Amino acid sequence: MSDPRLDDILEDLVKRAAREYRMDADAIQQIFSDVFANSTELTKALQKNPTPRQLRKNPHLKKAAQAARKKIYYQLRQYRPKTTGLTEKHTEHPPILAKNASQQEAEQWLKDIINTHISTQERRIEQSHPLESIINRHPTPRSIVDVGCGVHPLQALHHLPENCISHYTALDRDRWSIEALKHYADWRNDGLLSAHVWDLSSGWQNISDLIDDNLYDLALIQKLIPVISRRNDALLETLAQIPARRAIVTGSRMAMVRRKQIHKRELGIIQRFLEQANWTIEQQIQTEDEVGWLVRTDQEKGSIS
């Protein structure tokens, strides 16, 4: 809507929303403009030539502004954002990475996926990774299981030294993510990465069978425990039985949608889980966007020096 009477109001609404929500001002501006333009009630109200004061208090404008804020909120909540990076045709299936793609083509494919998917969007490929903080201090894990991984393994593998691990199992219930990981695994063609559509309610039997001694060296449980605690805390008992000797458990520093620090709340939830699971904290972990610990689980304690 290009009505100049709305310019100052839109500017104020956009500035306020940009301070509150984790979205850039241009994207917020576009959402407000689209919602206002599609509001027939607001259009009719403008035809009555209200004063600027009357317009700011108009219930139809307030209703349109609330609808725009709601759209911003739910767009930020999407698991796979439909803006930036990937085209509309890739909302159902990820872009294909050809098996014979060049290194340069593969790197571009990785950046497109990592910078777009919600599981990795905050943590750009060049940023630090929780794995980096334990590789030098502890024996490098030879086998890793990544639970609720999204497309995170694409980035994790980027930060691991070459040939340091022999098996990386990626688990997620989101088929889009697993399909993308399988494209990457096929391109690598080294047997390192295996990706599986899986849900925590399915348990661990089929997963532990994927590894020789039925026990992974390390589990990655990143930003997952607080989510499970909110949605279905009964599954935390299943999570506590994860077939791994150690685990990296983390929570988010910032809320997913709003510009709000939540790390204290996240750490409190994780710490309660660790106490109930009888897992032992070994090392604190902090990166740009998450906080947590490296822990020893109650599975085969003492097997790693």
Using the predicted structure, report yes or no on whether residue 90 has a pLDDT greater than 70.
no
Using the predicted structure, report yes or no on whether residue 251 has a pLDDT greater than 90.
yes
| pLDDT band of 77, cuts 50, 70, 90 | confident
Domain's final residue, options 59, 77, 95: 77
pLDDT of residue 277: 95
Give me the CATH number covering residue 128: 3.40.50.150
Greater confidence (256 vs 165) lies with 165
On whether the CB atoms of residues 278 and 298 are closer than 8 A, the answer is yes
pLDDT of residue 120: 66
Judgement on whether residues 128 and 231 belong to the same structural domain of the protein: yes
Query: Does residue 95 fall inside a structural domain?
Result: no
Estimate to the nearest angstrom the gap between the alpha carbon of 52 and the chain centroid. 42
Judgement on whether residues 135 and 229 belong to the same structural domain of the protein: yes
Using the predicted structure, report yes or no on whether residue 226 has a pLDDT greater than 70.
yes
Judgement on whether residues 55 and 119 belong to the same structural domain of the protein: no
Query: Does residue 237 fall inside a structural domain?
Result: yes
pLDDT of residue 114: 85
Can you read off the two tokens belonging to residue 95?
């872009």
**Whole-angstrom Cα Rg for the chain:** 23
Query: Does residue 302 fall inside a structural domain?
Result: no
pLDDT of residue 56: 92
pLDDT tens readout for residues 20-62: 998 889 999 999 999 999 999 999 999 999 988 899 999 999 9
On whether the CB atoms of residues 111 and 105 are closer than 8 A, the answer is no
pLDDT of residue 132: 66
Using the predicted structure, report yes or no on whether residue 216 has a pLDDT greater than 70.
yes
pLDDT of residue 229: 94
Greater confidence (202 vs 120) lies with 202
Judgement on whether residues 116 and 63 belong to the same structural domain of the protein: no
Query: Which run of H or E residues covers position 252?
Result: strand 244-252
Query: Does residue 205 fall inside a structural domain?
Result: yes
Judgement on whether residues 161 and 58 belong to the same structural domain of the protein: no
pLDDT of residue 289: 83
pLDDT of residue 136: 58
Using the predicted structure, report yes or no on whether residue 207 has a pLDDT greater than 60.
yes
pLDDT of residue 84: 43
Edge to edge, the sheet with strand 244-252 lists 193-197, 167-172, 143-147, 216-222, 244-252, 290-296, 280-286
Judgement on whether residues 70 and 151 belong to the same structural domain of the protein: no
Query: Does residue 160 fall inside a structural domain?
Result: yes
pLDDT of residue 43: 93
Share of the chain above pLDDT 90, in %: 63
Greater confidence (35 vs 256) lies with 35
Using the predicted structure, report yes or no on whether residue 252 has a pLDDT greater than 50.
yes
Query: Does residue 87 fall inside a structural domain?
Result: no
Question: Stretch 95-111: mean pLDDT, rounded?
Answer: 93
Domain's final residue, options 77, 93, 122: 77
pLDDT of residue 303: 39
Q: Where are the alpha helices (DSSP H) in the chain?
A: 7-20, 25-37, 40-46, 52-56, 59-77, 103-114, 132-135, 152-159, 175-188, 205-208, 225-232, 236-239, 263-277
Counted domains in the chain: 2
Domain limits at 125?
103-296
